[in-house]
């Protein structure tokens, strides 16, 4: 797992939350299914997952017209993040939890901001853990 420190800009999103306190591996697919069902098309959209406390949020970058959707508006906070890549993530979903655990175990981890998953493509997932 190659890691780098990157600067992320704040990203306005809409999101659907999973059930708080439930395992994220169970809640993420359900939340994304509910979010994607509200979108007229998935083409060209940027999808994120965010872990806020014990809640998983399936997010998509906001576009004009999204105000009419039945999702909550929020902003993924910008700042410095430690990045790890998971190639071919759909075939390696079992690596998401251990990669997240490794990222948040680093001494410079900032627990005041969410852990972010950026689904860059069907072949690449970027895990982003906030750092001080």
Which CATH number fits the domain that encloses residue 73? 3.20.80.10
Distance CA 74, CA 93 (A): 26
**What's the whole-model pTM score?**
0.92
Half-sphere exposure of 22 (CA within 13 A, CB side): 13
Please tell me which residue, 84 or 66, carries the higher pLDDT value: 84
Give me the residues paired with residue 11 across strands.
76
pLDDT at site 2 = 53
Range(s) of the domain holding residue 70: 3-130
Q: Binning pLDDT at 50, 70 and 90, where does residue 65 land? A: confident
Closest CA to 19 of 48, 72, 66, 56: 56
Q: How many domains would you assign to the chain?
A: 1
**Stretch (H or E) spanning 36:** helix 24-38
Distances (CA, A) of 65 to 3, 41, 69: 36, 12, 8
Q: Binning pLDDT at 50, 70 and 90, where does residue 71 land? A: confident
């Amino acid at each position: 797992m190659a890691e780098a420190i990157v600067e992320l800009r704040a990203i306005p999103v809409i999101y659907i939350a999973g059930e708080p306190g439930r395992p994220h591996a169970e809640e993420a697919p359900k939340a994304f299914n509910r979010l994607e069902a509200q979108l007229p098309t998935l083409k060209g959209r940027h999808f994120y997952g965010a872990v806020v406390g014990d809640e998983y949020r399936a997010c998509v970058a906001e576009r004009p017209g999204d105000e009419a959707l039945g999702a909550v508006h929020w902003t993924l906070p910008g700042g410095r993040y430690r990045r790890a890549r998971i190639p071919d993530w759909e075939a390696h979903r079992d690596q998401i939890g251990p990669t997240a655990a490794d990222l948040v175990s680093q001494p410079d981890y900032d627990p005041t901001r969410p852990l972010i998953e950026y689904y860059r493509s069907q072949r690449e997932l970027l895990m982003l853990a906030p750092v001080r």
